[in-house]
Amino acid sequence: MVSVAQLQAPAGALSRLGPLRVGGLELGAPIIMAPMAGVSEAPYRALAMRMGAGSAPTELVSSKGLLYKNERTEAYLRHDPAQEPALWVQIFGGEPESMAVGAELAASRGARLLDVNMGCPVKKVTRNGAGSALMTDPARAAAIVRAMREAVGDAVPVTAKIRAGWDPESRNAVEVGKALEDAGAAAVTLHPRTRSQGYSGTADWSLIRDLKEALRIPVIANGDVFCAADAHRVVDETGCDGVMVGRAALGNPWVFRELAAAYRGEAAPEPVAAEERVQVILQHLADHLEHIEGASGGRRRHGEPEAWGLKKFRQHLIWYSRGMRGGAAFRERAMGLDEREAVEALVAAFFGAAEQLDVSEAPIYDERTAFG
């Protein structure tokens, strides 16, 4: 059945875009998975790109964590260059000096692009002057980009992800965007909600249009893009150069296959078959556990790497099962399993049979709880 949104969507708007170029790098399809805490680890980034995303920045990485060689921070940079040739690292911090050092360290570990987090609303981040707190100080935001650019040079473009502003009384995305461009930013992504909004209400795409009209560098649209119809509309309404998808990708890497088909001007893919869903989730689990084992370097800080990896993967199982009939019972069982074979058997049994959807029980992404 065709939705009203699909009928109203301007046909082909996304397909009119060319490959996304940031600085001197061509990133392929202008479809990006948003950097999300607890989600955007290397295995899921690679999965998103196999499905059709052109790029996928890392979850936010602490500049001070890089400086002090924090084990957890270092693990965020672990990736497979064969699957992720243009590693895009998102860094957060509130001081130009530490951000410059962090940029240099990230580049030395393989980062080909660097993104400054100016949108995270979590108090743990903003109370230190980072994340969306930078929207209250455009001069400091620009100083951070300038310092990072000077630290890494032209070979590693610096981008930024911003919000509409701190609150409804200070919607200054265009002002901040201009300051960042003048400081040398190679692209800006805008999520047009204020920090005080969080994810409530609707993303004001008109702000993306205003920013695009004000800047010469690429502008990437983020916020309320859940399907190809949304992507067509946001491109048509804003003139943006690329589309970034966040919450729609939680437990649904297939959204990038849908968007990639729309970008190529092709018909929408067939619904995901149960067999494929099982295969993709099991492969994601295997890649996730391998990543955890490699990142641990043989250390046992959280106990056995496999047990820790299974515990971390529970959040992905929550998202994979959202909206599925019987999902609540599945999640209850999954939360109590701590052996890989048992998890694999449950995944195969549930996703191999679950077809119908019940969106009323769908869990959502909450950055406050995902960040940690």
Instruction: Name every residue whose Cβ is closer than 8 Å to that of residue 236 and which is 6 or more positions away in sequence.
Output: 10, 13
- Catalytic annotation, pick one of 47, 120, 141, 292: 120
Token readout for 206 is: 């008109």
Virtual torsion, Cα 79, 227, 192, 319, nearest 10 deg: -50
Query: In whole angstroms, what is the distance from residue 85 CA to residue 279 CA?
Result: 25
Query: In what helix (H) or strand (E) does residue 176 lie, and over which residues does it extend?
Result: helix 173-183
Nearest to 188 by CA among 135, 110, 109, 247: 135
Q: Would you report the helix, strand and coil content of the chain in percent, each value rounded to 5?
A: 50, 15, 40
Instruction: Report DSSP letters for 244-292, one per residue.
Output: EE-GGGTT-TTHHHHHHHHHTTPPPPPPPPHHHHHHHHHHHHHHHHHHH
The single-letter code of the amino acid at 312 is: K
Please tell me the distance from the alpha carbon of residue 48 to that of residue 56, in angstroms, as a whole number: 7
- Tell me if residue 227 is catalytic: no
Catalytic residue numbers, as ranges: 120
